[in-house]
Amino acid sequence: MSFQIHSIRKLPFFFFFFTSRSSPKVSSRISPSSSAFFSTSIVGAEDPILVRDYIHSALYDPNYGYFSKRSGSVGMLETSIKFNKLEGRRAYLRHLDKIYKQSDISWFTPVELFKPWYAHGIAEAIMRTANLSVPLKIYEIGGGSGSCAKNIMDYIMLNAPSRVYNSMTYISVEISSSLAKKQLETVGEVRSHLSKYRVECRDAADRSGWGDADLQPCWVIMLEVLDNLPHDLVYSENQVSPWQEVWLQKQRDSSNISEIYKPLQDQLIKSCIDIIDLEKDHTTGGSRGITAARNIWSKAFPKPRRSWLPTGCMQLLEVLHGALPKMSLIASDFSYLPDVRIPGERAPLVSTKKDGSSTDYNSYLDAKGDADIFFPTDFWLLERMDHYCSGWKPDVKDQASKKGKKRRTITLGTDQFMEEFGLPTKTRTKDGYNPLLDDFTNTKFYISVPTHNTK
């Protein structure tokens, strides 16, 4: 029997088919009353808000946000999985099912499921690429349970010259106070790490938290962070009408929230639209005759369009390039998500776990602190945004040219990355099945390093 596991964060859902689980544990920590309060308080009646502000509150509101309150929003395995002791795929899936049943966790991320090997691969990529004659400085944004930080520091302690470990710093920038606390506990399991490690509990996309620009080389790691960054939504009535920003407003005399549409005015949204070249479909190209035909067609058969824009990622990249101009970046995330019900290009999954089973919502407006909202990453767009935020403005006619580029970039499948930098034998079962290489076909790594170009 062949299973296609699209996304590890959807695994619990998959397991219900696999094991016909009957009475699973209750995992929802948000009571109905608290989420009801939350839903009416984030969108005021008089003041509409952008979709990205709604998503930011739904995920990160200090009191009601999904990542702030739920201890189970990022899972942590008590012990590493011994892949070499498992027979094959069936045994691996059974083992995972047992772990999910035992825990109160919505999902485990790859850095957790494949610990310490996943983070060791990242540490090896850093060690092979970094200039180790200057002190190594690593920032991790959204470090979750702290496993990545601990495993990377363990690897450097055991594999790098001792002066590299002794002079290194590892700074975690974490928006959730409960996860920041957990990270410090995890890393603190190895006492010698503590003098080199600190957690700053803040929003990494807020420039003021970074202070003056740091001109020294450093590394920035982001694992499954891009997918949880706020996005905006633009809407167009039909195939030819202009894109409009989506804002949210509470309906009069009710707690329901509805969308309203405004002409483009937000700078982040406009920049994203320029970078994607979203307007090109109907504003350029074609003769007058074609344009007229398009107009008639769109009136006769109007097809509303919705497009999700990674404005949170754009803002974070702008801030990072401003604060850490010599950073090297390693980010991994979903390139594709299955079974998305929300309409629009690059639309998110909105998923909650109740009574042990995962449920996907049909509307992003139903996410009120009790659901994860996660987006696929368009790695082509990520690369363009990275170049744009680094200050590279390509000649419009010559987009492919490398001239003047400030970054050297590469996107690799997780299997390619781990085959190059990891130890794939450690995540292989007895019959040769390797979940890290075989099942993560919808996740990729993005690596971006500075060039010597300063103009």
Ligand X SMILES: C[S@@+](CC[C@H](N)C(=O)[O-])C[C@H]1O[C@@H](n2cnc3c(N)ncnc32)[C@H](O)[C@@H]1O
The residue within the footprint of ligand X, chosen from 109, 244, 351, 390 (CB under 6 A), is 109
At closest approach, how far in Å is the CB of 154 from ligand X? 16
Of these, 12, 116, 144, 325, which contacts ligand X (CB under 6 A)?
144
Q: CA-CA distances (angstroms) from residue 163 to 132, 133, 137, 179, 219?
A: 9, 9, 13, 30, 18
Q: Which of 11, 42, 113, 173 touches ligand X (CB under 6 A)?
A: 173
Q: What residue number has its CB nearest to ligand X? A: 142
Query: Of the two residues 5 and 175, which places its CB atom closer to ligand X in the complex?
Result: 175
Question: Which of 61, 97, 224, 232 is close enough to bind ligand X by CB under 6 A?
Answer: 224
Size of the site for ligand X (CB under 6 A): 22
For residues 39 and 351, which CB has a smaller minimum distance to ligand X in the complex?
351
Residue choice 179, 220, 385, 437 for contact with ligand X (CB under 6 A): 179
Residues whose CB falls within 8 Å of the CB of residue 311, separated by 6 or more in sequence, listed in order: 52, 230, 231, 232, 266, 268, 269, 272
Estimate to the nearest angstrom the gap between the alpha carbon of 260 and the chain centroid.
27
Q: Which residues pair with 140 in a beta bridge?
A: 172, 221
204 binds ligand X (CB under 6 A): yes
The Cα 9–Cα 336 span in angstroms is 12
Q: Which is nearer to ligand X, 203 or 360 (CB)?
A: 203
Among 228, 358, 442, 448, binds ligand X (CB under 6 A): 228
Pairwise CA distance, residues 11 & 101, whole Å: 12
Residues numbered 279-298 forming contacts with ligand X, rule: CB under 6 A: none
Which residue, 112 or 124, has its beta carbon nearer to ligand X?
A: 112
What phi and psi, each to the nearest 5 degrees, are found at residue 270? -60, -40
Cα dihedral: 421, 426, 427, 433 (round 10): 110
b/e map 368-400, b = 16+ CB within 10 Å = bbbbbbbbbbbbebbbbbbbbbbebebeeeeee
Q: Are 94 and 85 in contact (CB under 8 A)?
A: no
Sites for ligand X among residues 74-93 (CB under 6 A)? 74
Helices 11-19, 89-102: crossing angle, 10 deg rounding: 110
Q: Is 377 in the site for ligand X (CB under 6 A)?
A: no
Q: Which of 119, 141, 171, 323 binds ligand X (CB under 6 A)?
A: 141
Residues in contact with ligand X, shown as a per-residue x/- string from 41 to 80 under the rule CB under 6 A: --------------------------x------x------
Residue 147 vs 244, nearer CB to ligand X: 147
- By the 8 A CB rule, do 436 and 118 touch? yes
Cα(294)–Cα(324) distance, integer angstroms? 46
Least Å from the CB of residue 396 to ligand X: 32
Residues that bind ligand X (CB under 6 A): 67, 74, 109, 111-112, 141-144, 173-176, 179, 203-205, 223-225, 228-229
